[in-house]
């Protein structure tokens, strides 16, 4: 029996800056996980991933990551995705510098 579909966000890295980005409901990219589109059905998730893969002039490495509905928007479910929301970890720059 197949597993039930788990809600997802589509994530990738911005081509020029390398920042972690998420697909927003308007089809643009956001650097904030909570502003990502929470995709709640498998067919839509597959279409969003195909579209992102065709946008190689904007992003690299798009993939679907499990997420949960939270009070302020989608929240990461796995440690890896939670870690990616905080930005680079080698020294304070990007998201960590602004915090």
Q: pLDDT tens, 69-84?
A: 999 999 999 988 988 8
- The answer to whether 9 and 64 have CB atoms below 8 angstroms apart is yes
Check pLDDT > 70 for residue 35: yes
Check pLDDT > 70 for residue 30: yes
**pLDDT at residue number 61:** 97
Integer Cα distance of 80 and 99 in angstroms: 20
């Amino acid at each position: 029996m197949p597993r039930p579909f788990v809600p997802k966000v589509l994530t990738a890295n911005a081509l020029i800056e390398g920042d972690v980005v998420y697909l927003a409901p308007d089809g643009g990219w956001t650097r904030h996980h909570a502003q990502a589109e929470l995709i709640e059905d498998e067919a839509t998730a597959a279409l969003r991933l195909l579209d992102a893969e065709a946008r190689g002039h904007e992003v690299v490495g798009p993939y679907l990551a499990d997420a949960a509905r939270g009070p302020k928007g989608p929240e990461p479910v796995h440690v890896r995705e939670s870690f990616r929301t905080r930005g680079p970890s080698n020294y304070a720059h990007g998201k960590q510098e602004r915090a």
